[in-house]
Structure formats: C-alpha cells, structure tokens
Amino acid sequence: MELELKGINADSLVQMLKASFTLENWEGILLIADRLYDEVVDMYHANLRERTAGQRVTSFNLQRSMVYYFGYSMCLKGIALQKLGRYSEARESIDKYSELGWIIGIDTSGLAEVEYYREIATANRYVIDLNEGNIGILPEYIAYLRNNEEELLPGLIHILESAIHFNYNIDEILTEFQEKVSAMEEYYENQRNIRYYIDYFYLKARYYSINGKSYDAINILLQSLESSVKLRDDTGFRKAVALFEILRAESTHSQREEYRLMMQQILE
C-alpha cells in the first residue's frame, strides 16, 4: 500500500488515523501512525535543542499537547497490530505509550494525557491477553471495566471477539452490563463513537447465533442495521446485512418483513 504522507501536518495525520479506524483500514493505520510518530519525534528533538540553546520553544501550531500525539500514534498502531493478530508487536506499541512521563516540558494538559494513556495501556494489555486465549484474566478485566465506565463498551467488544474465537460462554457478563450499555446509547451515537456502538451489537448477534440463539441474534441484527442506517455507518451496515443473509433461513416471517421494509426505506 502506497500513501504519500510527507508534508502532512500532525493534526491532519490524526484525522487520517481516525478515518482509517472508522473504515477498519488496519494496514493504513500502521503507515499513518508511524509517520505521525516520526513527525512528533522530530518536533520534540527540535524543542529540546531550543531549550538547550535558551531559545523560545516552538509550538508547531499543534492543537493538543505533544504527549497526545506520542500516545495517539502508538495507541492506534497497537490497535491495528492487535486486529492483524500481531500481538507481540502490539505489546511493543503499548509499552511506548504506557509511560510518557519522560517527556520534558509537560504542561497540565500533558500530565492529563500521560495518565490517560497509562490507563489505556492497562486496558489494552488485557485485550491482548484475551486475544491470545488467556481467559483467566476475565475476572480481573471485568473488575477493571466496572471501575472504568468509559472503557465498558470497547471492553465488551473485545470480550465478545474473544468468546466468539475461543468458543466460551459470557452470558452472565452481557446480562450484568446490559442496562449500562443501554443507558450509554446516546453517548455512543455521536460520530466519534459509531464504530464501538455498531460493532457491539453486530458481535453480540454473532455470539448469540453461534450459541443457538438465532431469534435473539436476528433481533439484535435488525437493531444494528437500524442504527447503521441512522448513523450512516456503511462498514457496520455491510457486516450486519451479510450476517442477516446467513441467518435468513432461521428468521421468522415478521423478522424478514422488518428487514424488507428497512431495505425498501433505503431505496426510497
């Protein structure tokens, strides 16, 4: 894959990373994240030279603290590597943003970013463990999610992915957090969090279908489809349609009719 990234500023690279995440373009994320990291390293070294020379430190017109760009680039790279199954490399990326307190010249907002990425690193190490089949950490991870509500939906997505891959039961976990997820619906319906919201319902439908609960799975799929259309999430829509068609033979007449009406509305 060829991407011309030279000359693109740090904040534009951040926007490219966000778009690539929404499109699940993992290979693209690796290229853009490395470019952003290299860009911010160059800025940081330039700042160090200016500090040493007693000169005024250049801001480079960054919209956020420099800590943010270090953390965001490696966090997205780690997620992409995890999605690609390259877990040891993902751990290396996590190590790079787990402790950013070494950065010289951190202001108040930078200190907050240091703490944020330290917490994200903790969560993402649990995710790698789950992806490697270490389900023994589930109780510890669930305890972490209970105390870190902002990580709840991403966390449940990772647990669903692991349960689907390694074929184990998480019904009690889904039941425990069902009300909390419903209460967070409005928050996750903004553009920044579409992927989490749609993916949760899609994966929950897959999990139920694998475990012989086709009726429940299809109802959840219809909900996912409705949200995908409402939020204009093409990636989630395609996956939900594909799974519905696989399960069509197990659907009821009313479910098929609801699906048909939804497709008809799109054409209109």
Give the total number of structural domains in the chain: 1
Left, alpha or beta for 134 (phi > 0: left; psi -120 to 50: alpha)? beta
Q: What is the pLDDT of residue 3?
A: 55
In the prediction, which pLDDT does 189 show? 62
User: Residues 135-159: pLDDT tens digits?
Assistant: 999 999 999 999 988 889 999 999 9
Residue 265 and residue 61: Cα distance in Å, rounded? 46
Give CA–CA dist 262/266, Å, rounded.
Answer: 7
How confident is the model at residue 162, as a pLDDT?
Answer: 95
Residues 236, 228: contact at Cβ < 8 Å? yes
Q: Indicate the range of 87-101, 107-121, 227-241 predicted with least confidence.
A: 227-241
**C-alpha–C-alpha distance, residues 45 and 223, integer Å:** 50
Residue 184 pLDDT more than 80? no
* Confidence grade of residue 6 (pLDDT, cut at 50, 70, 90): low
**Above 70 in pLDDT, residue 248?**
yes
Instruction: Give a yes or no: residue 263 inside a domain.
Output: no
Domain span including residue 33:
1-132
The pLDDT value given to residue 190:
59
Q: What does the pLDDT read at residue 4?
A: 55
Mean pLDDT of the chain: 89
In a domain, 262, yes or no: no
The confidence score (pLDDT) of residue 192 equals 54
Mean pLDDT value across residues 89-97: 96
Q: What is the pLDDT of residues 110-138, one digit of tens each?
A: 899 999 999 999 999 999 999 999 999 99
At position 124, the amino acid (one-letter code) is: N
**Closest to 93 (Cα-Cα) out of 77, 112, 116, 80:** 77
DSSP 133: T
Instruction: Output DSSP code: residue 136.
Output: G
Within a domain: residue 152?
A: no
pLDDT at 1: 46
Tell me what the mean pLDDT of segment 226-253 comes to: 90
**Residue 42 included in any domain:** yes
pLDDT tens for each residue of 39-80:
999 889 888 888 788 777 677 788 899 999 999 999 999 999
Tell me how far apart the alpha carbons of residues 68 and 155 are, in angstroms, rounded to a whole number.
Answer: 22
pLDDT of residue 193 exceeding 70: no
Instruction: Look at residue 255 and tell me if it is in a domain.
Output: no
Asked if the structure places residue 223 within a domain, the reply is no
Task: Evaluate whether residue 83 is within a structural domain.
Answer: yes
Indicate the pTM of the whole model. 0.81
In a domain, 91, yes or no: yes
Closest CA to 227 of 256, 186, 179: 186
